Chains A and B, each alone.
Chain A
C-alpha cells in the first residue's frame, strides 16, 4: 500500500487521540496483517467508498477500549454503558475522516461507524487488497488500527481541477 495513503492515518491517529482523548499515541511500523492476527474484544469499523473503497478498523481489548472511551467521554464507561459504542464509534469516525482529507485528488466518503463487542473476535476484511495493521501504544494500553483499501480511481491532479474549473 502506498505510503501516501498510510501517512494520513498515522497523522490522524495521533491528532484524534491527542486532541479528543488527551492521550499521546506512539505509532509503530505498519505491518501486513498476518493470517493468525491478534483477536480483539472491541472493534470500530468505518467503510470507505468513492474513489477509494475499503474499511478502517480500530481494534481494542476491553480494558483499553473502556479506558479510552472513559477519557474521551469524560465519564466512567464500561462495556455495558449506553454510550460506550457511540464513543468508540466516534473515535473511528474521526480517525477515518481526518485521514481522508489528505487523500489529495480523491473524492472519498466514509460510512457511519459500526461497533462490534465480543471477547476475542476477528474482523474479516477485503481479501483483494493488502491489509495493513498500524500498531498503536498509549498510556491506556495498546490497540491496532487496521486498513484495507483499494484505489478505484486515480487521483485528480491540480491541473485537471483547474481545467474543470472546480
Chain B
C-alpha cells in the first residue's frame, strides 16, 4: 500500500500520516519490495498519479479542498480541532478558529487543551498570530527534521493584510 500524505506543519499531530489516498499494487494489493515487477508498477504509479496529485497541493486552499474529502479510514481534517483551527487562522478566518476554541472551552470535544496563543485569537491580534503561527510551523519543522526542505513563507492572511 502507498499513500499520498498531505499534512500540516503543526507540532500537534492529529492523524499519523496526514490525509490522502491509498494506492495499491494492481497485482498483489500490497507492494512487494523484492519483486521487480511490483516495484516497477510502484514507480509508475508514483510518477503518473501520486506526484502529480501532490504537486497540485500548494496552498492552504488546496489543502482544504484535498483534505476535506471523506475517505475510507481518513476522516476530513475539519473533524480535528487543531488542524481546523490552524487552517482557519492561516486563511484569516478568525470566526471559525474562535468557534473551534469555543467548542474546546465548553468541553464538547475530545481535545482537552487550547493553544498558548488562544488569547491572541480572541483578541484578533493578527500580528501576534502571524508570529505565533510561524513559531508553531518552525517547531514542527524542527520536530520532523525538515529544516533542509523548509522555506519560510507568509501565511495567506499576512499577504491579504499587506495587499
Partners in one complex: no
B residues sitting closer than 8 Å to A (CB atoms) are: none
A residues sitting closer than 8 Å to B (CB atoms) are: none
